[in-house]
Amino acid sequence: MREQEMLLKELAGMIERQEMLSKLTESHVLEGYGYSETQCIDAIGRMELPNVTKIAEQMGMTRGAISKMTKKLLAKNMIEKYTLETNRKEVYFRLTEDGQLLFEEHEKRHRLWEKRDTEFLNRYPSEEVDVMLRFMKEFNVYLQQKIEELS
């Protein structure tokens, strides 16, 4: 097997195991919410005056995709719409009580994930981590270009 095939196989295995670990460590609060929905909740929870455009920019998604997602999150009572007294046309979002609970649970899980995987990466010298980082950045750019070509 060529090195490229072996690398792709290892990347696929890593993704599968990350998903498996996420499911095993996931709180019941996060059940029923996809990755993008959870990331959207996270963006709204961190952002000042989050609207469709700002969320789309933050998440690297289209405004149309964010509109669909916010409709789902509104229906699930995770977020609510509001406008400012000074501008009734612009619609913003904020977390509901349930949305805040999901936001906090996601943040807690993210911290645990970061701690766990940082412990692993600390085994490697910074030069090797730099090579892996460069690879991942370039591979993500490549994948994003393929997504845009197909969209």
The predicted pLDDT at position 50 comes to 97
The predicted pLDDT at position 30 comes to 67
Range of the domain at 21: 3-150
How far are the Cα atoms of 30, 113, 114, 133, 141 from residue 45, in angstroms, in the given order? 15, 19, 19, 28, 27
The predicted pLDDT at position 109 comes to 84
The predicted pLDDT at position 17 comes to 87
Q: What is the CATH number of the domain that holds 142?
A: 1.10.10.10
Tens-digit pLDDT string for the chain (151 aa):
699 999 889 989 988 888 787 777 666 666 677 788 989 999 999 999 999 999 999 998 999 999 999 999 999 999 999 999 998 899 999 999 999 999 998 898 889 889 999 999 999 999 999 999 999 999 989 988 888 888 7
The predicted pLDDT at position 28 comes to 64
Determine contact, residues 47/55, Cβ cutoff 8 Å. yes
Q: Report the distance separating Cα 62 and Cα 144, nearest Å.
A: 13
- Residue 128 structure tokens: 């090797």
The predicted pLDDT at position 26 comes to 65
Q: Report the distance separating Cα 108 and Cα 33, nearest Å.
A: 16
**Per-residue pLDDT tens digits for 130-149:** 999 999 999 989 988 888 88
26 by Cβ neighbours in 10 Å (0-12 / 13-18 / 19+) ranks as: middle
What total number of domains does the chain contain?
A: 1
Q: Report the distance separating Cα 4 and Cα 126, nearest Å.
A: 24
